[in-house]
């Protein structure tokens, strides 16, 4: 498995491409924009999935166009699925951002597993930033969206957010066995061991 991560958009979203090197199948984690930069990152891989960590506008703006170009299946939780077709729920209307409505193809829940070639991607429900936030775990990598950040965590004051659920989700991540590389939704990438030791929200 190989991972490529790049920053996109005015909010410096980290979008990551998981590549199963044995089959060249790939999965895009969050999709902030449809641009030449995004096309270049996907490259000649066979894009099978767009894995959404949650439904806020800055993570879904490019989904419709990328889906249309590559035929990839859109994956999201049941709780956040309505955000894909609502500028109010995705918060786009409040930030003068585009809402490119798109339908989900696969609805996931905690414990589900997505097969990407020979690579297994596990879904972990991590509500708090939104009620349907999830992390995707593949080999030694966690794609944490806006749940876990470098020495911080996602905001919980948006609709469907919950401080109590966020603390529970962070403890759930903390309890995982071993270390992981953490591909966050914004800002610096990090590791789970570093966050266990230094993140005040994980104490």
By three-state DSSP, how is residue 149 classified? strand
Q: What is the pLDDT of residue 23?
A: 98
Total length of the chain: 203
Tell me: pLDDT of 203 over 90. no
Between strands 148-149 and 141-145, the pairing is: unpaired
| pTM metric for this prediction | 0.98
Average pLDDT over residues 26-46: 98
Q: Supply the range of the domain harboring residue 128.
A: 2-202
* pLDDT tens per residue across span 39-49: 999 999 999 99
Rounded Cα distance between 125 and 111, Å, is: 8
Encode pLDDT of 139-158 as tens digits: 999 999 999 999 999 999 99
pLDDT (tens digit, 9 = 90+) per residue, 92-123? 999 999 999 999 999 999 999 999 999 999 99
Q: At 11, is the pLDDT very low, low, confident or very high (cuts 50, 70, 90)?
A: very high
As a whole number of angstroms, the distance between CA 169 and CA 35 comes to 33
Which CATH number do you get for residue 157? Answer: 3.60.15.10
User: Using an 8 Å Cβ cutoff, are 141 and 180 in contact?
Assistant: yes
For strand 2-8 and strand 13-20, is the pairing parallel, antiparallel, or unpaired?
antiparallel
In this prediction, residue 24 carries a pLDDT of: 98
**Average per-residue pLDDT for the chain:** 98
List, for residues 181-190, the tens digit of each pLDDT value: 999 999 999 9
Judge whether residue 172 has pLDDT over 90. Answer: yes
Backbone angles phi, psi at 56, to 5 degrees: -65, 150
Q: How many CB atoms lie within 10 A of CB 13?
A: 24
160's tokens: 């469907």
- pLDDT of the residue at 18: 98
Which residues does residue 111 pair with via DSSP β-bridges, in sequence order? none
Distance between CA atoms of 115 and 19, rounded to whole angstroms?
12
Question: Comparing C-alpha atoms, which of 148, 159, 141, 160 is closest to residue 186?
Answer: 148
Do 83 and 90 contact (CB within 8 A), yes or no?
A: yes
Rounded CA-CA distance 161/19 in Å is: 31
Number of domains in the chain: 1
């Amino acid at each position: 498995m190989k991972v490529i991560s790049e920053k996109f958009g005015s909010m410096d979203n980290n979008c990551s491409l998981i590549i199963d090197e044995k089959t060249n199948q790939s999965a895009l984690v969050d999709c902030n924009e449809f641009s030449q930069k995004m096309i270049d990152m996907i490259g000649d891989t066979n894009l099978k999935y767009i894995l959404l960590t949650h439904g806020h506008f800055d993570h879904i703006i490019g989904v419709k166009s990328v889906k249309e170009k590559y035929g990839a299946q859109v994956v999201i939780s049941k709780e956040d699925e309505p955000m894909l077709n609502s500028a109010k729920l995705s918060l786009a209307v409040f930030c003068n951002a585009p809402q490119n409505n798109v339908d989900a193809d696969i609805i996931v829940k905690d414990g589900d597993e997505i097969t990407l070639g020979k690579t297994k991607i596990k879904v972990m429900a991590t509500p708090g930033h939104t009620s349907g936030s999830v992390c995707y775990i593949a080999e030694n990598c966690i794609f944490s969206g806006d749940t876990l950040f470098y020495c911080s965590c996602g905001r919980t004051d948006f609709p469907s957010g919950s401080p109590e659920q966020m603390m529970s989700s962070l403890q759930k991540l903390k309890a995982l066995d071993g270390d992981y590389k953490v591909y966050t939704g914004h800002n610096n990438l990090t590791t789970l061991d570093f966050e266990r030791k230094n993140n005040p929200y994980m104490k």
